[in-house]
Amino acid sequence: MDLYLSAGNIEITPAYPVALAGFAERHGAYSKIHDTLEINLAVLKQGDKYVLLYSIDTLFAPEEFVKIVLETFGSEYGLQEKDIWMAASHTHFAPALDKEKPDLGKTNDTYYREVQGKLILLTRQVLTGNYKKVSVSYGTTKSALNVNRRKKLLRPKGGLKLYWKTLMYPDYDGVKDDNIHLVTFKDEEGNTAMVLWNYACHPVGFKHRSQVSAEFPGLIRSELRGYLGDTRLPVLFFLGFAGNLKPDVTPVTHTRTRDKFNYFFQFGPKYTRFPSTGQYLEWIGLLWKEVKIAYKASSPKETVTLATTQYKLPLSEIIGDDEKHTVCFRKLLLADSVQFIGVSAEVLAEYKDIVAEALQQNVSINVGCLTGTRIYLPADKNVGEGGYEVHWFQHRFGIKGDFKDDLDNKIKEAISRL
């Protein structure tokens, strides 16, 4: 069936000093705007079926935003919750929109209302906009620029005893998803109408923690627009399963050999962050080269019947005893060999293989940080190792309790139900 697209974007950069969200130790209003924040929206239409894809430059996107979209447009366009994919880029350099996690950054009510208003304005403009018949192309490449951030080193415990502690250091041999996925939508004249890309890497590398930035999702967005000659091109970024993945600084600091030497003697790495803005921007340049490879490698895919499904698992089956909230799992079928699996959690990279097994090894573009994200989602292996994503994040996220047993099979079953 023919596929139609209407897409657009709107700026949400704060015009007045507000606090940023992402780092618990950061306080006060931002000092400077490094680059702009946006909402990018694509509406896919096939017959009477509409699917809305949002990419928002923020740490976490609130569930209230999905509810207000449904209340405002649901009946007119036949929308259901499963038809709205609203994803946070997860930049750690934007004002908070998630009121549930004040320890990571308090929400400014004025900014919140402004962004909510702009979200509704953009949604109305795109839903009533000019729909173009589009074709779908898909490309992928491997990245050498992200790294696992859960390194186990020996640490003292009670006198002369030692134990293996999982620290937030780069683990160069750790599990990661090194795929960059890129989906291009072109109109009947062959012009690029929208780009959606996916990468599993925490947007935490920007040097200046007091400045506003969309981080690498925004900087690559600018590169794509410049490369394709369209300054307003809708570019959506969907974060992958990046719960334990971060930028690898060593391609620009050239300190990996030294780090491995330090690890042998149970010392920490030379750098855990980019030591300078120049090196951060050098890393961005390397990432852009990888994204451009994926774009150039894109090949046409036959569109299929647009289909969305979702399944919700009670949060209490994963962690603690919260029976009010859920973790939402979603699937979007778009084209031949192009399907998305989305989860409302910061999913650790180990789930790449678990999802593949649930899908009988069919390729999927995996997406984390959908609206309603309340937890990290570690695999059984991670739970046994401990660390920030298992034991240390709860108080900052407002979560109580421990992770349950047999998470791998529970998540695999949830994906199988889609």
Residue-range domain boundaries for the chain: 1-418
Examine the pLDDT at 26 and tell me if it is beyond 90: no
Whole-number pLDDT of residue 240: 98
Contact 400, 394 (CB under 8 A): yes
Whole-number pLDDT of residue 336: 87
- Could you tell me the two tokens for 49? 């079926």
pLDDT tens digits for range 34-73? 999 999 999 999 999 999 999 999 999 999 999 999 999 9
Whole-number pLDDT of residue 260: 97
**Worst-scoring range by mean pLDDT, 16-20, 154-158, 179-183?**
154-158
Side-chain half-sphere CA neighbours of 269 within 13 A? 25
CA Rg value for the chain:
21
Cβ contacts of 246 within 8 Å, gap of 6 or more? 146, 147, 149, 170, 201, 202, 204, 205
pLDDT tens digits for range 104-149? 999 999 999 999 999 999 999 999 999 999 999 999 999 999 999 9
Residues β-bridged to residue 192: 186
Whole-number pLDDT of residue 158: 81
The pLDDT-based confidence of 27 (bands split at 50, 70, 90) is confident
- Could you tell me the two tokens for 316? 């209490």
Q: How far apart are CA 241 and CA 202, in angstroms?
A: 9
The pLDDT-based confidence of 375 (bands split at 50, 70, 90) is very high
Cβ contacts of 100 within 8 Å, gap of 6 or more? 62, 374, 397, 398
The pLDDT-based confidence of 159 (bands split at 50, 70, 90) is confident
Residue written as token pair 């809708």: 234
**Worst-scoring range by mean pLDDT, 119-123, 189-193, 373-377, 394-398?**
394-398
% residues pLDDT > 90 (the chain) = 96
Residue 187, classed as helix, strand or coil, is coil
Query: Which of 109, 89, 114, 98 shows the shortest CA–CA distance to 21?
Result: 98
Cβ contacts of 386 within 8 Å, gap of 6 or more? 165, 166
Q: Give the count of beta carbons closer than 10 Å to the beta carbon of residue 397.
A: 18
Contact 216, 203 (CB under 8 A): yes
- For residue 179, what are the CA distances in angstroms to 195, 204, 410? 16, 19, 25
pLDDT tens digits for range 202-259? 999 999 999 999 999 999 999 999 999 999 999 999 999 999 999 999 999 999 999 9
Q: What sign does the CA torsion over 136, 241, 145, 224 have?
A: positive
Tell me the one-letter amino acid at 2: D
Element (H, E) at 394: helix 394-397
Contact 178, 142 (CB under 8 A): yes
- Could you tell me the two tokens for 106? 């308090």
Residue written as token pair 């509810």: 67
Examine the pLDDT at 337 and tell me if it is beyond 90: no
Whole-number pLDDT of residue 24: 85
Beta-sheet pairing, 32-33 with 211-212: parallel
Examine the pLDDT at 11 and tell me if it is beyond 90: yes
pLDDT tens digits for range 67-77? 999 999 999 99
Is this model's pTM higher than 0.85 or not?
A: yes
Examine the pLDDT at 1 and tell me if it is beyond 90: no
Contact 22, 93 (CB under 8 A): yes
Whole-number pLDDT of residue 25: 83
Report, as an integer, the average pLDDT of 404-408: 97
The pLDDT-based confidence of 99 (bands split at 50, 70, 90) is very high
Side-chain half-sphere CA neighbours of 206 within 13 A? 23
Report, as an integer, the average pLDDT of 148-173: 94
